[in-house]
Amino acid sequence: MLRDTNCGELRKEHAARTVRLAGWVNRRRDHGGLIFVDLRDRSGLVQVVINPQTAPDAYRVADQLRNEWVVAINGTVGVRPAGTENPRLPTGGVEVYAQQVEVLNASKTPPFAIADEAEVEESLRLRYRYLYLRRSRMLRNLTLRHEVVQYIRRFLDARGFLDVETPILTRSTPEGARDYLVPSRVNPGQFYALPQSPQQLKQLLMVAGVERYYQIARCFRDEDLRADRQPEFTQLDLEMSFVEQKDILDLIEAMYTGMIEELCPAKRVVKPFPRITYREAMDRYGSDKPDMRFGLPLTDLSAEMAETQFQVLRQALAQGGVVKGVLAPGSADYSRKQLDDLAQLARDRGARGLVTIALRGGAQSLDALTMEDVHSVAARFFALPQVKAMARRLEAKPGDLLLLVAGPREVVNASLGALRLEVGHRMGLADPSMMAWGFVTDFPLFEWNAQEKRWNAAHHPFTAPHPEDMERLESDPASMRSQAYDLVCNGNEIASGSIRIHQPELQERVFRVLGYSREDAQERFGHLLEAFSYGAPPHGGIAPGIDRTVMLLADEESLREVIAFPKTQNATDLLFGAPSTVRPEQLREVHLRVVEATPQSAKEPQSSA
């Protein structure tokens, strides 16, 4: 065998044992005739000592070694002399005295250092991904990802779920983002699509009587990327029959709670997970994926401003809008530039402006506040009782800063939600060890597409309407709530799911609201409608993102740091050079020819069959 022991497993109890190790040279140091090599494998690293007096042949080989060379070492484990231990390493109490060193493979000088955690430019990280993955942090992330998936499998297996694979080559259907298309060689002019999710397939499995299904599923979406998006990603796909919303949320809460307690015990989790409606989330936090690690709720001040002399606020209220505020604790002494930055952030989210009221001066309480303590460019428009009333509603005290926005409710919520996050970030209000999980429920069923003058499904077209709203399905689509729900954590959406439609008649009604004719619905979804006519059970599911889950658990800012071989912001693979052109004969085989993009279509490259 090339090795019989892992580097990171050696401890003082292994002293005097003869071992054969193999791995990479993490560092090599030449100290006064002795050569020290930190040898690294997946389990960790251990210090190896090569002495020319006791192992001259090994010394001659070790004298040539450089970082990242692959070597095998025979030696004896010894306890480090007192005062030379390394408490930062699990193996820091021992070292290996080499008798033999064998070079298994030399290495060129890497384009960046592997042994330290210095920042590496992203194009280099992705071009030489196999080298970047050697870093201990990346190995920890991959190990954590493995542990998360294994925990999920154990958890669901114990609760009677079946792991069922579904096809990767399927039919293109209008369910959200653009599909990745795959041309068919044997069916000229026709295409498969890579699945955005196994949505219809898992519903068909419920019709088939599987009852409890899960899959660690690969999904594909041709959409613009961000730090938390990739064109291909992994999700836990899960579906259950004969359940209501509470059953699914209870299951997911138990799974995530147990996962974190087992895998990341240093993380703090608030239990039980709060469950709030979409409307509550937007009104309180200005976001449907709120960061609940800190307070600072958005507060409606419309009643306090009903008699204001400030024309901007009066006009907003007269037009049916609202005046809302958020507190910036201890920020009354913000500079003009800091206030201008906050105002710009509000405008970036659609607000016409931001009103700031700083409570400065020597007042010890709100009762003692005078107008001399109120600092605002709009101070002349406010009476002292109004300022005190707003401050009390926001639970402010002297030394705090009040941030006010007026306008349509959606704009006010969005802008103040962004300000709330900015204030929380500036003040460090979010405990980094805390994971504030929660469920957001009762999302809108439809959203209006002003460009196409039609309704779109807010979640997907198979989401069941809220039972209490059913009678308004055709007459008032804007008011319809869905039985959709999201799992959120620390300002991130981790999972999305819903109770599904299982009756063909209701599914056809929803299709009609979405503008599908009977012929369109049959052509696109006829297989699903027919399946529902054969006794489909009530069912629902959810799809947590594996990548996002691991990203949060690993305290990373980007999905790319928890995926072995990710793509760049513009969906390119720098390691393999994908996407790439293909040979003309390959195009002929699938009946395609490339059409050069015109200026008008430059953003939409075309091909023809």
Q: Which pLDDT tens digit goes with each residue over 561-577?
A: 999 999 998 899 999 99
pLDDT in tens, 118-139: 899 999 999 999 999 999 999 9
Question: DSSP string covering 96-143, please?
Answer: EEEEEEEEEE--PPPSS-SSS-----HHHHHHTHHHHTTSHHHHHHHH
pLDDT in tens, 2-18: 999 999 999 999 999 99
pTM exceeds 0.85 for this model: yes
Is the pLDDT confidence value at 326 over 50?
yes
Mean pLDDT of all residues in 373-392: 93
pLDDT (0 to 100) of residue 174 = 62
Mean pLDDT of all residues in 495-504: 97
Class of domain 295-429 (CATH, top level): alpha beta
Domain-by-domain residue ranges, the chain? 7-105, 295-429
pLDDT (0 to 100) of residue 609 = 40
pLDDT in tens, 387-441: 999 999 999 999 999 999 999 999 999 999 999 999 999 999 999 999 999 999 9
- Residue 412 · residue 321 · CB < 8 Å: yes
- Residue 269 · residue 263 · CB < 8 Å: no
pLDDT (0 to 100) of residue 608 = 39
Is the pLDDT confidence value at 175 over 80?
no
336 conformational bin, left if phi > 0, alpha if psi -120 to 50, beta if neither: alpha
* All residues at 6 or more sequence positions from 103 whose CB lies less than 8 Å from its CB, including other chains: 61, 64, 65, 69, 70, 71
* All residues at 6 or more sequence positions from 175 whose CB lies less than 8 Å from its CB, including other chains: 196, 197, 199, 460, 461
Is the pLDDT confidence value at 366 over 80?
yes
pLDDT in tens, 469-489: 999 999 999 999 999 999 999
Is the pLDDT confidence value at 603 over 50?
yes
Mean pLDDT of all residues in 113-122: 91
Q: How far apart are CA 429 and CA 301, in angstroms?
A: 24
pLDDT (0 to 100) of residue 308 = 84
Mean pLDDT of all residues in 577-605: 82
pLDDT in tens, 280-292: 999 999 999 999 9
Mean pLDDT of all residues in 331-337: 95
Is the pLDDT confidence value at 41 over 90?
yes
Is the pLDDT confidence value at 71 over 80?
yes
pLDDT (0 to 100) of residue 364 = 86
Is the pLDDT confidence value at 277 over 90?
yes
Is the pLDDT confidence value at 599 over 70?
no
pLDDT (0 to 100) of residue 607 = 39
pLDDT (0 to 100) of residue 596 = 83
Question: DSSP string covering 264-280, please?
Answer: -TTSEE-SSPPEEEHHH
pLDDT band with cut points at 50, 70 and 90 for residue 320 = very high
Q: Give me the CATH code for the 7-105 domain, please.
A: 2.40.50.140
Mean pLDDT of all residues in 130-153: 97
Is the pLDDT confidence value at 602 over 80?
no
Start-to-end Cα distance in the chain: 55
Is the pLDDT confidence value at 514 over 60?
yes
pLDDT (0 to 100) of residue 172 = 86
